[in-house]
Amino acid sequence: MDSGKLITFEGLDGCGKSTQLEKATDWLKVQGYSVLKTRQPGGTVIGQQIRSILLNPEHEELQPESELLLYLADRIQHLQDSILPAKAAGKIVLCDRFHDSTVAYQGYGRGLNLNSIESIVEHCIKPYSPDLTILLNIAPETVASRLERRQEHVEKDRLDLESLSFFKRVAQGFQELSAAEPERFVCINGEQEIELIHQEIINILQQRLQLS
């Protein structure tokens, strides 16, 4: 019944999600669209608190299953409190990470069996699957250098401390997810110049969503 769209940005740490999301938001606004720019974890008041638990480097004792459930709790809250109302109001919602990140990071990266959460996902998340997912692909080897560049602005968070083999598994996860749903995913080479990537994203927005 809603007229809005949910567009998610996915990929490894430092692949350029925030950079491109910002530029896409500005472009959409100039075209006259009403846009909600948001992120997971952390898109709501409750989500901000969940985010601070998830990303705190001191939380080494956080159990993998606890981490998984915190991401799910954040996502459900975010959908109901923020994303769905915005879509119903006709907005284009641009979300920095969504459920694909959970599957890639917790499932492929940490090797968790996600069957235990399947019924929650089936009922609370899959019905609201994104209209479009932009996957920015970078080599797992690029992650470290991208994050170093950002060091002056952002403190190291828990995920930044992961190893190369971890990011290789996560990249494999994103690759398999995108291959399984080619209608939803658009994969972009994230190693290109920032402006070139932005132009590709504009083209995709125009084609896939019949925008302007």
Ligand X SMILES: Nc1ncnc2c1ncn2[C@@H]1O[C@H](COP(=O)(O)OP(=O)(O)OP(=O)(O)O)[C@@H](O)[C@H]1O
Q: Which residues bind ligand X (CB under 6 A)?
A: 13-19, 146, 149-150, 190, 192, 194, 197
Q: Which does 140 bind (CB under 5 to 8 A by kind): ligand X, Mg ion, none?
A: none
Residue choice 2, 9, 11, 18 for contact with Mg ion (CB under 5 A): 18
Decide: is 25 part of the binding site for Mg ion (CB under 5 A). no
Please, what's the b/e burial string for 82-102 (b: 16 or more CB within 10 A of its CB; e: otherwise)?
bbbebbeeebbbbbbbbbbbb
Question: For residue 151, what are its two tokens?
Answer: 């060091």
Taking the complex as a whole, the smallest distance from the CB of residue 135 to ligand X amounts, in Å, to: 11
Please say whether the beta carbons of 70 and 117 come within 8 A.
no
- Give the residue from 193, 209, 20, 177 showing the smallest Cα distance to 99: 177
Q: Which does 70 bind (CB under 5 to 8 A by kind): ligand X, Mg ion, none?
A: none
Distances (CA, A) of 188 to 11, 111, 136: 10, 26, 5
Decide: is 19 part of the binding site for Mg ion (CB under 5 A). no
Taking the complex as a whole, the smallest distance from the CB of residue 19 to ligand X amounts, in Å, to: 3
| Residues found near Mg ion in the complex (CB under 5 A) | 17-18
